[in-house]
Structure 1
Amino acid sequence: MALSELRKRLTDGLAHARLTKTQLARQAKLGRTTVQQAVNTNAAAPTAETVAALARTLRLPVQELLDLQRTAAGADSTRKQGQDPGKPISEWDPHDLEVHPAGPALRGHATGAAMERVLPGYVPRNHDRVLADVVDDVEQGHSHMVVLVGSSSTGKTRACWEAVQPLAQAGWLLWHPFDPTRAEAALDDLQHLRPHTVIWLNEAQHYLGPPDVGERIAAAIHDLLTKPQHKPVLVLGTLWPHFATDYMALPAPGAPDPHSRVRELLAGRTLAIPETFDTEALCTAAALAEDGDRLLADALTRAADGRVTQDLAGAPELLRRYETGTAAARAVLEAAMDARRLGVGLHLPHAFLIDAAIDYLCDQDYDELTEDWVESAFAELARVVHGKQAPLRRVGARPRRRSPGSVQPATANVPVLGQMFRLADYLDQHGRTTRQAQCPPASFWEAAYTHLAHTDDLDNLAEAAQSRFRYQWAHHLRHRAIDAGSTNSLAPLAWIRETVGDHDGAEALYRRAADAGSVGALAALARMRKKSGDHDGANAIYRKITDSGESLTEALSRRDANLHAALAKLSRFAAALSVTRAWGPPHTSFWMAVSRSLSAFGDYDGAESLLRRASDVGTLIEQARVREMSGDHSGAEALYRRAADTGDAEAHGFAVRWPYGLDPDGTPTPPWT
């Protein structure tokens, strides 16, 4: 009856004042939802503060309405007995408390399996020790408040969650006020909290920031912390640095002070969170990764600067942005992913990404491009996610540092490439995993030839084009790399010239590569001399390689002996790795590297015996190459076809070339001829 009478008088007063609820909320400095709940017949009794503010604004007798509120609140309190705000900490899911998901995980392995949110192992840092001391004191019966201050995704909320776990074992409750709004929920129920409760104020600016309610919440929390009947309670909050700075700043003389109570509440109760993991934390994370924590292991491969928590928090959103972005933005991202996985450097030219993206679009998406698609796509990809990460962010050139006394060059020799962009590390890694079987379209190779200028980028892409049977692009990219000053492309071009019979052109290119310091080019020159019958010339070059004056036969014997000794050591090392839990058995690439060294010196049997120790498709292809080098073309073809039967695209490419036939000397005809 008291609550009905209170609502009737408030409703009549609202009608008499000819105000809307929105206007009343503004004049009373309350939230519109608070006003709505105050007159809603299905809602709980409004707080005394709300009734007083409404009564003053509507010019109603304040004390009479407060008496009605007190009677109604008493009845409401009786109705709510046994329903204290909050629930046991053990019943909370940390993600419901706004701990950032670190990455989705499949429940099961079947297609369409449900996704569940998982957390990586926790790495304690210095601030966790402070929180642990606070929790110890709370368990002794004292009340405390700590607000963790740090940038986006630095681990603030996760640190709070880990800190309250000892209280969970002691049966404490946790209350997260958020309905109907965070501030309103806090004002309504702070007075009803019982001891042994954690008050969870994540993103505390929502509670303390609004001037109309922030000061009242700060006063209520101060009352909660200081009155004996409430002890013990623990108030945990998080804030970004700029909010903390605003709340703690003293006003100018004569200026209003909107955060005076908040400033008093926060004084001595904030705790800074570092942006990065220090050396000790990185070592702990590495140990957890070694013990099987996949999320931490993945993050550590990317977060070389120690920003581990930012990487973990941003990864799911980066992936979502890639998978649900516009067609144009996705095309730009896939062009960037392919560039990075094929060997282009971190910084990707704007013009390259635009031109490369075209053939990643289907016909319909291409026809629907608007005139401003470039600006829209790059603006979409520049929007940051958790941890201040963006799928594709613009980067600037740092000024070059010079030693004291050095002269500033008049002009720089570095080509001007315009705006440069960097792909997010997580998407870089995602592209290497998911797109490894994809060959970039024609627009990619043309854009690379047109816009890339760094020799390493061109050399790497030429090799990538060669391995994907884009022989014309490989040829042109190597010429462009040589024009840009590369010496690494000289020997591959010379080998092509030699293969097609242009021995003079091949020798000229080999000599240029040898003059640049390539020992392999010298060996190729010696091989050409030997093949033409000039054994003295070949021996002279081999002496130059060995730099000792010994004969070719002596050099080869000494080399073979050293190689077999080194092989024995490597085999023993591999055996040791096989029984070491931290490393596991030697990777296939280990055997392939050793076998290539042996086959380069003609020990084909030894090379193939090593490759038999591994059983994947890659080693089948490598065994086929060894057979091909040794002259066993039929054996090579059989191995290539075995590998192709597994569905491997590279093996299939090698297998289909055999119908091209053989040269008169028995050498397989290269596809580019």
Structure 2
Amino acid sequence: MDEQTGHSPQLTKLRGRLADGLARARLNQTQLARRAGLGRTTVSEALSPQKPVPSAETVAALSRALRLPEAEMLALQRTAVQQAGTSTTEGPGRPIGEWAPHDLEVHRAGPGPTAAGSDMSAERAWPAYVRREHDRVLDKTVDDTMAGRSRIMVLVGASSTGKTRACWEAVQPLADQGWRLWHPFDPTRAQAALEQLHRVGPRTVVWLNEAQHYLGDRAVGEQIAAAVHRLLVSRERGPVLVLGTLWPEYATQYTALPTPAEPDLHSRVRELLAGHLLAVPDAFDAPALAAARALAKDGDWLLADALTRAHADGRITQDLAGAPELLNRYQHAGPAAKAVLQAAMDARRLGVGLHLPQAFLTDAATDYLSQSDYDQLSDGWAEQAYAELAKPVHGKQAPLRQTSPRPVRRPPAPASAATTGAEAGKGPQFRLADYLEQHGRTSRRHLCPPASFWHAALTHLAHPDHLNRIADEAEKRLRLQWAHHLRHQAAVHGSPVALALLAVMRAEAGDPDGAEVLARQAAGHGDTDVLRQLAEMREEAGDRDGAEALAQEAAGLGDTDALRQLAVTRELAQDWDGAEVLLRQAAGLGDTDASRQLARMREEAGDRDGAEALLRQAAGLGDTDALRQLAEMREEARDRDGAEALLRQAAGLGDTDALRQLAEMREEA
């Protein structure tokens, strides 16, 4: 019948041997299908003389079930295919459209529905794809395969840089053309590849993700490289597309030339990869970031979420890949490790800087533990907790990693100011993962830290701004005693904000001398506002000399606002001469606001010439408000040309109010 239907002698021989094996085994086709792990129809078609050549996969399974020599049977199958001039539609793998990206080891992105407890399917929790330069090279490779040429491309990049996702996006046009995809992994990646590469048929994508597991295998890596090369050059088996991914260290290892004295362990791998490595950058460049922002603006919440954390360094894919595992590590951490993480989350959301001292975290964590967990702590609990939290997840992220702050480079400053902001505490410092920091800000926003947190802040933190912010947060939560001590500690370390607040508190408590001491310390750290506040309080108390002395002190430090504020107070009290003296002092120090204020007083007193002189002095210092005020005076004096010239001068300096004022004059005219 094979001869009558035009089948080749090799196919007749293949089917004859299968039929003989079936007879010797005393099995029917249903029993054979069960033993071979195949469908009843597949077995029937393989034995039927009216059907085309069975696939290599089917022949191999039947040979094993019937204890026939597998290599000989596969050789007969390949010859039958060649003689028939056709290819079987089956082979390793299945249609691309039947694969889910996560089954091909594409990292789940973002916090994900499973982590958030949502009913949304995993496939829907998928960010839009941002195309980059390497995607264009991949597209060209795919175009070549669709034109009938077999190709290989191996993407090289660090962990979670988007290599596997790029491969997945690249093969989608092939899915529309009915291509298959084969991902060898069972029983091991290397064994699966070695045993089945010779069965790969045309129009198949060979998926070698984490290619070091195939090409770097000490026993069979070179054989796999040779088999892939044979597949690529076999015309009767093409076109095929081989896609792989590698970390840079593996790519360097496999492509490095050996020295004459050492064996060449990767010669076939090196030949296979030559000219077929494609670099994937660690971070999004400016065009990719712009594209990501546009997609986020259009409603892609995963990209929008990642951009809030990774927009500065462009490590978007690492953030997306690491977020689910970071959250999982936090939720399933041991009691001590979770307590340290919660202390770190609270520290960041309440205002402590990025670099958290280990001593602070260790002391702060104790009250986050239940009494039962606290009783079970061993002597080395802290070291164990930090070791647990330092283990990395995708994207080289860790829940809590040790960090080395860069030294601060500032211009030379007085000794008192140079130490401001320096963290006095020595020892290791740690940084909380950005995603966990953001998670803590939302999930813990209604929680108040326990007493150990405030005590650790008071004991171990030394940055004045951090201490002052923690004091503010303690006060908001009515931890008033902690707030009081933290505020004083911030003042000790030179926080001008804390010093100013304490100065006002001293003044309100009736201790003006103590208030002045603290105010001068704050001014020495750059905060002169408190001097102005104390000057106003002295003025209200009737101590005009004391108020003026404080205002003069602030002015000497470059803050003339205190002089102007006192002048307003004197003017309201109808002390015109006293107000004018103060304003002239401020104007003499270059305060153009004072010059304009003084000009208004001169004009009200009928001294228009004096007022204009003051305004021209301010205008000479670049104050366009003074020019507009002069223009108003010129217009009132019916000197419209002079007014217009002054407004044009102000407009030429970038004052758009002057243009508007000039337009109104033209409309009125």
| Both proteins in one fold, TM over 0.5 | yes
Check conservation: 1:337, 1:423, Cα contact below 8 A: yes
The CA deviation string for residues 538-569 of structure 1, in whole angstroms up to 9 with x for no partner, is: 577678543666831588999xxx9xxxxxxx
RMSD: 3.9
Instruction: Return the letter of the residue paired with 2:491.
Output: I
SS of the residue corresponding to residue 244 of structure 2 reads strand
Partner of 1:587: none
Tell me the CA shift for residue 84 of structure 1: 2.7
Once the two structures are superposed, residues 321-345 of structure 1 have per-residue CA deviations (whole angstroms, 9 ceiling, x without a partner) of 1110000000001111111111111
Q: Which residue of 1 aligns with 2:438?
A: 429
After superposition, the Cα gap between the structure-2 partners of 1:96 and 1:275, relative to the gap in structure 1 and judged at 3 Å, is same
* 1:2 shift after superposition: 6.6
The answer to whether the aligner puts 1:116 opposite 2:131 as a matched pair is no
> Between Structure 1 and Structure 2, whose CA radius of gyration is higher?
2
Is 1:234 aligned to 2:241, yes or no? yes
Counterpart CA distance in 1 for 2:173 and 2:571 is: 71
Q: 1:446 aligns with which of 433, 455, 475?
A: 455
**In 1, Cα distance between the equivalents of 2:291 and 2:527?**
43
Shift in alpha-carbon separation, 1:258–1:554, aligned structure 2, 3 A: same
Task: Spell out, residue by residue over 1:435-478, the C-alpha distance to the aligned partner (whole angstroms, 9 max, x if none).
Answer: 11111111011111111111121111111111111111111112
How many residues align structurally? 509
Distance 1:64 1:328, change over 3 A: closer
Amino acid aligned to 2:439:
H
Residue 430 of structure 2: SS of its match in structure 1? strand
Structure 1 residues 375 and 234, CA gap change in structure 2 (3 angstroms) = same
Deviation, structure 1 residue 510? 3.5
1:465 is the counterpart of 2:465: no
Shift of 1:397: 4.4
Residue 456 in structure 1 maps to residue 465 in structure 2: yes
- How far apart, CA to CA, are the structure 2 residues paired with 1:288 and 1:106? 20
| Partner residue, 2:375 | 367
- Report SS of the residue matched to 2:210: coil
Map 1:609-628; keep pairs closer than 5 Å. none
Q: Which residue of 2 aligns with 1:546?
A: 561
Distance 1:151 1:533, change over 3 A: same
Residue identity matched to 1:431:
G
Q: Secondary structure at the match of 1:119?
A: coil
What is the deviation of 1:531?
Answer: 3.7
- Structure 2 equivalent of residue 318 of structure 1: 326
The aligned residue for residue 183 of structure 1 is 190
Distance 1:141 1:65, change over 3 A: closer
Matches within 5 A, 1:89-488: 89-106=96-113, 113=119, 116=122, 118-253=125-260, 255-303=262-310, 304-398=312-406, 415-488=424-497
Q: Confirm or deny: 8 A CA contact 2:355 2:405 kept in the other structure.
A: no
Q: How does 1:632-651 map to 2 (within 5 A)?
A: none
Deviation at 1:108, TM superposition (A): 14
Cα 1:192–1:333, aligned 2, differ >3 Å: closer, same or farther?
A: same
1:493 corresponds in structure 2 to 502
Q: Return closer, same or farther for 1:112/1:133 CA change in 2, 3 Å cut-off.
A: closer
Give the Cα separation in 2 of the matches to 1:213 and 1:302. 43
Instruction: Give the 3 Å change call, closer, same or farther, for CA 536–174 of structure 1 in structure 2.
Output: same
- C-alpha distance in structure 1 between counterparts of 2:464 and 2:408, whole Å: 20
Q: Name the CA distance, whole Å, in 2 between partners of 1:169 and 1:192.
A: 23
SS of the aligned residue for 1:489 comes to helix
CA distance in 2 between counterparts of 1:253 and 1:153 reads 36
Instruction: For residue 356 of structure 2, give the secondary structure of its aligned residue in structure 1.
Output: strand
CA distance in 2, matches of 1:256, 1:3: 45
Q: CA contact under 8 A between 1:526 and 1:537: conserved in structure 2? A: yes
Q: 1:515 to 1:451 in 2, by over 3 A?
A: closer
1:482 and 1:107 map into 2 onto residues whose CA distance is 47
CA distance in 1 between partners of 2:451 and 2:152 (Å): 61
Question: What do the CA deviations read for 1:382-414 (whole angstroms, capped 9, x no partner)?
Answer: 10111111111111244676999xxxxxx9986
Structure 2 CA distance for partners of 1:188 and 1:551, relative to 1, 3 Å: same
Offset at residue 75 of structure 1 (A): 12
Can you list the C-alpha shifts for 1:488-524, whole angstroms capped at 9, x where unaligned? 2012223333455545534543444345443431342
Contact 1:349 1:421 in 2 (8 A): yes
Equivalent AA in structure 1 for residue 259 of structure 2: A
> Structure 1: where are the runs of 5+ without partners?
7-39, 52-62, 405-410, 563-673
Counterpart AA for 1:383: K
The two structures have a TM-score, normalised by structure 1, of 0.68
User: 1:552 is aligned with what amino acid?
Assistant: V
The answer (yes or no) to whether the contact 2:337–2:388 under 8 Å persists in 1 is yes
